[in-house]
Amino acid sequence: MRNRIAPIALMAALVLGVCWWWRAAHGRALVVYCAHDAIYAEKILRDFEKRSGIPVAVRFDTEATKSLGLTELLIREKSAPRCDVFWNNELLGMLDLQERGILQAYRGSGYARIPAAFKAPDGSWVGFAARLRLVIFNTAKIGTTPPNITGLLPGSDLSRVAIAKPLYGTTLTQYTLLWHLWGGDKLKAWHADWRRCGVKEVNGNAAVKDAVVEGACYAGFSDTDDFFEAKDDGHPVAMTPVRLDDGKTICIPNTVAIIRGAKHTQAARQLVDFLLSEETELALAASKSRQIPLGSVPADRLPAEVRELAQWAREGEDLTSLGASRAECLAWLKSQYAP
Amino acid sequence: MNSIGAQTAMALGRALLIVVLALAISPSLGGWLIAQRGRAKVFAWILLLAPFFTPPLLVSYALVKFSMSLLVSAWGHEALYIGVLAMKLIPVAVVLRALLPPPLSAEGRHTFRMLAPVGWGDRVRFHLRAVGHGPWISGGLVFLLAFADFELASLWSVKTWTMAVFDAQVGGYALGSTLRLAAWPLGAQLCVLVAIALTKRDLPGGPEEQGRRAGAIPWCYLAIAASAVCVVPLFIVAAQAVAGVPSLWENFVLGGELGASVVFALVAAGAATAIASCARKSAPPLTLLLVIPGLLGALVVSLLLLALFQAPLLHALYDTPLPLGIALSLLLLPLALLLDALWLRPTPALHIARQVGSRRLIWDLERRPRAVAAGLLFCWAYFDFTASSILAPTGFTPVFVRLHNLAHYGQTAVLSAMMLAAFATPILVLLLTGTAWRLYARGHGR
């Protein structure tokens, strides 16, 4: 027995030593939780790293649980935060974090260039580089006339229509808006009707895009970035923005915030200003995801498609007052999907 | 259809169907495999085990277009999932049936047939006794693995209880609520585990004699399973990767993630091997305790460890490599103990080799099986996704978490090249290590 205690103790000491070294070695890095797609966000963050000389350690969310996973992780870590900067790919989760007192106010140069409709008055979060919620459809299957799938009557066949699981991401934003505009009862009835009519629920917006591209579904709800992925690959797809009952569109900004209790506040402020800069918004607009700048940028430097999207984005519904609706809608969705 | 009860029932139905398939196929296939000799035997075992060790991400990425085309057909989608999962798990039943032969010899069975009891009840009772406990143990393990599947289900949007638990956890349920949600499925798993543990061990009987000439059917099955789950997906990815290799070569962005995967896999394989070796002489209850976490599945183990390391006492170790290292080691333990029991027990031949002092014989009898077992454990840990996605520390993420994310954007040449690089890395590591080890053994051999 004595023969075994020594190696076990040695091993335990070694493991603890490695953990201590790990914490010390990584303590210098600015910790960023990022719910935006890794393929677009990583280049921006590496650019910041190169220019500022500040090492950045990034934790990305999984595609299927976009934004909700990291939002909930931040809530769990509230008492001992690890994260310095949260780059969310939507707004509603950020409103929840603001209400829980997890965000730290900062109004720097980036804050100043973003319009008031897309930022918290106290500076606890700021929006930038938005995308639109849309209906993507397969033109080889149903032609080029946009289908009115949101206006379909109960009892229609929706077996060729796809939507992501509404528990996460921008589908959650769409559901929250409908909850806000219609009230819970109408949304629940609509949701039940849609499921009865055979709508295909998949893991995320990218899976909706795949289902439409492959022709398994003829149309589906997705976002502009997924649509342009399909279009750039040469697939026969077209899109139309989702219009709410009042004719408004759903424009969903990325948002960024510094976490209260962040260990690298100065570096975090530098990153926030970098993300909110004209240069970053233009880079995201020129990327394959065609994000729509929210601050003022020279129009001639925007791709033609983004200029068209920007028109629709101006007709976007106000999302900043949806905090309570999100909480109610999410509680109901959790009871449906994880009862 | 969304309630946890309905999703558990679906998972239960699928798991039972896979168990039935596994139990129907494994006796004849296991006997046939044992009867093979020489290179045919090696080739047959490679074909058998290839589906089990093929990462679900490779299958789902390569077959994404096919699975999407089945999306509108509920049964087609379901059949694809059950088919692939069954082909991945049937090898487990076959290996266990080969390890746990029936207690009654072929002569005994023949005598029974000669005596031929009249009543059907007697016949059934006799047959149940004659097959021994092997089917219950192998069926139980296949059930556990099929019932707890998360990775393939999440990649193909299949409704199952593990997905509901995952949704609950990322959706912000407290751990207690999440575990309450998983209480029934966990209860079912624990019942099966206890039943396996209580199963009496049979006296070792002779292996079931099967003719080596069982026709082409076993080869056909092995070829179909290995092709569908391993060869065809690998071919699709490799064909797409050709165009993407130059771009990836110019901008090789996976170095850190590949390094993280290799480090975690090495540590976990080493730890699991050491624990399995220490547990060799332990009492059965301790062995059972060691295998329970691994058999409960990666999702449950990872969620429990996440909660544990978020507790105030251990919070200093949260977001370090330790939680993932522990999770992977726990998940490897059932396989490590199985391999230890299968290959690594000292034999009289090894004792003689040691007495003679022949390094060559010691290599053949002890070190080579040990190296192969360590290699299998390394690959198993390297290909993990579930535990890595939940427990990986910030900035040191294993490669499959990243690839899993990128795979959601569809197939591209560069992503296929990344996949190929990720799948080639463990093979390269094992080849280099194996060659170095072999050269060392030859240089010192007698």
pLDDT of residue A337: 77
Q: Please give, rounded to a whole number of angstroms, the shortest distance from the CA of B437 to a CA of chain A.
A: 25
Which of B69, B172, B389 has the CB atom closest to A214's CB atom? Answer: B69
* Pairwise CB contact (< 8 Å): B321 & A162: no
Residue A32: inside a domain:
yes
Please give the ipTM for the structure prediction: 0.74
CA distance B24 to B97: 11
Both A199 and A61 in one domain: the answer is no
CA distance B366 to B349: 10
Residue B278: inside a domain:
yes
Domain end marker among B185, B203, B233: B233
Both B185 and B295 in one domain: the answer is no
- Residue of B170, B273, B281, B414 to mutate, testing the A interface (most A Cβ within 10 Å of its Cβ): B170
Dihedral Cα A222, A225, A227, A232, nearest 10 deg: -170
CATH number of domain containing A257: 3.40.190.10
Tokens at A237, concatenated: 């797809």
C-alpha distances (whole Å) from A200 to each of A113, A158, A263, B79, B181 are 41, 8, 44, 17, 25
Please report, as a single letter, which amino acid is at residue B445: G
Residue B438: inside a domain:
no
pLDDT of residue B223: 95
Question: Which residues on A lie below 8 Å from B154 (Cβ)?
Answer: 64, 203
Both B333 and B296 in one domain: the answer is yes
**Range(s) of the domain holding residue B202:** 1-233
Both B203 and B308 in one domain: the answer is no
Q: Burial, B227: exposed, middle or buried (Cβ in 10 Å; 0-12, 13-18, 19+)?
A: middle
Residue A2 at interface with chain B, using a CB cutoff of 8 Å? no
Encode chain A in three state secondary structure. Answer: CHHHHHHHHHHHHHHHHHHHHHHHHHCCCEEEEECCCHHHHHHHHHHHHHHHCCCEEEEECCHHHCCHHHHHHHHHCCCCCCCCEEEECCCHHHHHHHHCCCEECCCCHHHHHCCHHHECCCCCCEEEEEEEEEEEEEHHHHCCCCCCHHHCCCCCCCCCEEEECCCCHHHHHHHHHHHHHHCHHHHHHHHHHHHHCCCEEECCHHHHHHHHHCCCCCEEEEEHHHHHHHHHCCCCEEEEECECCCCCECEEEEEEEEECCCCCHHHHHHHHHHHCCHHHHHHHHHCCCCCECCCCCCHHHCCHHHHHHHHHHHCECCCCCCHHHHHHHHHHHHHHHCC
Q: Number of Cβ pairs closer than 8 Å across A and B?
A: 130
Residue B30: inside a domain:
yes
Residue A74: inside a domain:
yes
Q: Please, what sign has the CA dihedral across residues B277, B282, B284, B290?
A: negative
Both B257 and B385 in one domain: the answer is yes
**Range(s) of the domain holding residue A183:** 132-250+325-337
Both A203 and A333 in one domain: the answer is yes
Both B167 and B281 in one domain: the answer is no
Both B282 and B358 in one domain: the answer is yes
Q: Please give, rounded to a whole number of angstroms, the shortest distance from the CA of B32 to a CA of chain A.
A: 42
Both A216 and A256 in one domain: the answer is no
Question: Which residues on A lie below 8 Å from B411 (Cβ)?
Answer: none
Both B41 and B68 in one domain: the answer is yes
Both A47 and A107 in one domain: the answer is yes
Which residues neighbour A338 within 8 Å (Cβ) at sequence distance 6 or greater? A167, B4, B164, B165, B167, B168, B171, B173, B181
Both B202 and B322 in one domain: the answer is no
**Parts of chain A with a pLDDT under 50:** none
Closest alpha carbon within chain A to B326: A15
Residue A2: inside a domain:
no
pLDDT of residue B227: 95
pLDDT of residue A45: 94
Alpha helices in B182-231 (DSSP H): 183-198, 217-226
pLDDT of residue A320: 86
CA distance A126 to A272: 9
Both A109 and A62 in one domain: the answer is yes
pLDDT of residue B206: 54
Please write the tens of the pLDDT for every residue from A216-268. Answer: 899 999 999 889 989 988 999 999 999 988 899 999 999 999 999 999 999 99
Both B42 and B121 in one domain: the answer is yes
pLDDT of residue B21: 95
Question: DSSP letters along B150-171, please?
Answer: -HHHHHTT---HHHHHHHHHHT
Both A163 and A275 in one domain: the answer is no
Residue A53: inside a domain:
yes
Q: Which residue has the tokens 């950020």?
A: A94
pLDDT of residue B121: 76
Both A182 and A284 in one domain: the answer is no
Both B276 and B343 in one domain: the answer is yes
Residue B440: inside a domain:
no
Residue A5: inside a domain:
no
Residue A59 at interface with chain B, using a CB cutoff of 8 Å? yes
Both B262 and B199 in one domain: the answer is no
* Pairwise CB contact (< 8 Å): B170 & A68: yes
CA distance B189 to B102: 25
Angle between the N-to-C axes of helices A169-182 and A92-99, in degrees from 0 to 180, rounded to the nearest 10: 80
Q: What's phi and psi for B150, nearest 5 deg? A: -125, -40
Both A174 and A273 in one domain: the answer is no
CATH number of domain containing B189: 1.10.3720.10
pLDDT of residue B202: 54
Structural domain tally of chain B? 2
Along the 446 residues of chain B, how does pLDDT read in single tens digits? 567 788 899 999 999 999 999 999 988 888 888 888 888 888 999 999 999 989 888 998 888 878 888 877 768 889 999 999 999 999 999 988 777 766 667 677 677 667 766 677 777 777 666 666 778 888 988 999 999 898 888 878 788 888 888 877 776 677 777 777 788 888 888 888 888 777 755 545 555 555 555 678 899 999 999 999 999 999 999 998 888 888 788 777 788 889 999 999 999 999 998 888 888 777 777 888 888 888 888 888 988 898 888 888 888 888 889 999 999 999 999 889 888 877 667 778 778 878 887 777 777 777 778 888 888 899 989 999 889 988 888 888 899 988 887 877 677 788 889 999 999 999 999 888 888 877 776 666 54
Residue A19: inside a domain:
no
Both B134 and B93 in one domain: the answer is yes
pLDDT of residue B258: 92
